Copies of this chain bind each other. A is one copy, B any other.
Amino acid sequence: MALMETAATMMFTDCSSPSSSTARLLHFTSCNVQKFPNTIYHSLRSNTLQFGISNPKFPKTIISRCSSSSPSAVQVTTEASATIIDGKRVAKDIREEVAVNISRMKDNIGIVPGLAVILVGDRKDSATYVRNKKKACDSVGINSYEIRLPEDCTEEEVLNHISKFNDDPSVHGILVQLPLPSQMNEQNVLNAVCIEKDVDGFHPLNIGRLAMRGREPSFVPCTPKGCIELLHRYDIPIKGKRAVVIGRSNIVGMPAALLLQREDATVSIVHSRTKNPEEITKQADIIISAVGQPNMVKGSWVKPGAVIIDVGINPVEDPESSKGYRLVGDVCYEEAKNIASAITPVPGGVGPMTIAMLLSNTLLSAKRIHNFS
């Protein structure tokens, strides 16, 4: 994937990385840096998580050009900056709230929520995600159970483990780390997780309930739930607003659109077949982008005062970084932050919210199963 400079009739791929809601895989993206000879590149390492208006890493004089529409792209850096939606802080708050609730639950009814994770094969990225989930569970007091199966195990073995976890009263949430090896039918495996423990919210019955008025899903998928939670925590009104979701993946774009509609936004969904997507995004009061295309959404795509939730986490080549890459969102942050009224940074925006929502869903499941409020 190369960073694209032209916007008209742009083709892009959906952010449908083969991952569970808590795993947004880090596919390495080659950024054609030669195309930007005048650009000074930031070094955004994955551990550089402190963002904010006064962030010393983003002095106003640094020019970070994402767009080929050069003069305005440079000029906008002198304008007022957006509120930076600090997903890291919000996620921390949510974890603390979850921890308090878990402690209260344990004290009152002696129940500790449990999350089971099934990991098949030895993909490094998957192992990292599972480790992070385990650490997050530990930090809030959720018991975590992990099953590791070899790459060549059968679908039946996975289904057997799911079945055991479905019946295990100490387990309140079940995750199957995706992607699964090719010999397995992902749909069969995910459908086997009982709806009451589907804390990822990926079961079609959950999605159906999410889509239908008057119905309530058992669980809302973690990443889109995190996006909406950020809007709520920053008191950003949704009702009656024009919202555009970029990307229609099952795990982010589609459920995000359904959630926005449940909150009475007027929603448009832009995707790889959309002609002139910028014409639609420019009308949006709220943009949620989840396509996995670095810097695709230029400043010129954004209506002044819009709110931007950037779900993309795209590594692009960066010879100045010790890792050789840096992470950028779907949105050209440096341009958009001077046009939007609020924006999530990458990293430190939506990213930390996904696991926070997973913990929250696991707590919700335990509360529901044990009728504890």
Chain A residues in contact with chain B, CB under 8 A? 16, 187, 203-215, 239-240, 248-250, 254, 258, 261, 264-271, 273-275, 277, 280
Contacts and interface: CB of A to CB of B under 8 A. Distances in A.
Nearest to A9: B240
Nearest 5 interchain pairs by C-beta? A208-B208, A204-B208, A207-B208, A268-B268, A264-B273
A266 B268 contact: yes
Given A261-B248, A266-B271, A204 B209 contact: yes
As for how many copies of this chain the complex holds, the number is 2
Contacts of A210: 208, 211
A240 B204 contact: no
B207 A211 contact: yes
Contact of A248 (B209, B213, B250): B213
A269 B270 contact: no
12 contacts: A187-B214, A187-B215, A203-B208, A204-B205, A207-B207, A211-B254, A212-B254, A240-B273, A261-B269, A264-B273, A266-B271, A268-B268
Contact of A208 (B211, B213, B270): B211
A273 B280 contact: no
A179 B270 CA distance: 36
A180 to B, nearest CB: 14
Contacts of A16: 213
Given A240-B274, A266-B275, 4 more contacts: A204-B209, A211-B254, A214-B250, A240-B275
B258 A211 contact: yes
A215 to B, nearest CB: 6
